[in-house]
Amino acid sequence: MKPILQNLVEMTGHRDHLRLEVSVLTTLQAFSGMVQVRSLEVFMLDGEYYCRPRTWMDGRGQWLSAGTEAQSDPQRVRVADMPALHECLQAHASQAVAKLGKGRHALWLPVWMNDKVHTCLEVIQARPFSAQKIDTINSVFQVFQNYQSLLDYSERDALTGLFNRKTFDEQFARATTHDTSEPIALELPRDSAEPGAEGADKQWLAVVDIDHFKMVNDRFGHLYGDEVLILVANILRSSFRSHDRIFRFGGEEFVVLLRSTSLATAHKVFNRFRKNVEDYYFPQVGQVTVSVGFVSAENGSPVEVLGRADQALYFAKENGRNQVRYYDDLVAAGLLQTKQVSNDDVELF
């Protein structure tokens, strides 16, 4: 019991979802008789539940975390092929137990948030689960879930549910660097990029601004303005992959960290999002458009990269709006001048 309590103390010391998840998996791994403990990502594809490994331990005792897009992950499986888990998700139940074969008994613990499930902890051991062991595992799981909710509350924008400004620096560092000082070694495999494509396998940062948003508030009121923000946030979520990161910086401004793709794909993805907003009918308000400025996220500090994307954004807004502009193209065409921005010079947003 003492090692488990020590693991719980460590678990609630984390301020990061991924390391919190690794910590609860480490705690469960410490139980006797464990064969495998991992986190599964649950997602919808063609109207069906699928799942794929998200965080797991390899044969060397190193925790790995998936970085590829869930829908294209070759390890994905239909939840319908896992009858006990499928029934559990359909019933919105708290757990499922099944025998997988000789010496393999599984316990699944879905993480429900607002009646939706995106994550499920999978615990496999050699013997059937006793009622006492399930209760103990459930207690650890509840501590994990409660603490995860606290993290969500502190990291998320209250209106849209997107990441807030204070989480940006950490997420930016994770997307653009590999921090070897972390006590838990996590390998984050990247998506394969198009062979020979310019800017292949790079990270991109975009600043998004809703065009004429002040007019929406002035004409229709802040209640409909808030509805527009929520709907744009929903379009952002559906337009990008699960491992890309989306932030609301305040007001009508959003930031997107697009991970591991080529310049050509970045252009396509950002323009697809812009078109999705343009084609959407916003109740009472009608048509809404957005302007986007983006830049490579790999050259400079967060404030420098944000500054360049912000320059591209405001060029877009001053030259017709409802368009996507790439900073390097504007500089190459002589339409923007490069600026040196330091952390002491400006505070963005």
Pair of tokens at residue 226: 């808030």
HSE, side-chain direction, 13 A CA sphere, residue 11: 24
Block residue for tokens 């508030």: 217
CA dist 64 and 250 (Å) reads 34
CA distances (Å), origin 301, targets 4, 158, 170, 215: 40, 27, 12, 34
Does residue 252 have an active-site annotation? yes
CA dist 255 and 348 (Å) reads 12
DSSP state of 248: E
Sort strands 96-101 and 253-261 into parallel, antiparallel or unpaired: unpaired
DSSP state of 323: -
CA dist 27 and 8 (Å) reads 7
CB atoms within 10 A of CB 336: 19
CA dist 299 and 322 (Å) reads 27
Q: Give the three-class secondary structure for 221.
A: coil
Number of H helices, E strands in the chain: 10, 12
DSSP state of 197: -
Which of the residues 155, 252, 253, 304 is marked catalytic? Answer: 252
DSSP state of 347: -
Pair of tokens at residue 128: 């059937």
Contact 119, 40 (CB under 8 A): yes
Which residues are catalytic, by number? Answer: 252
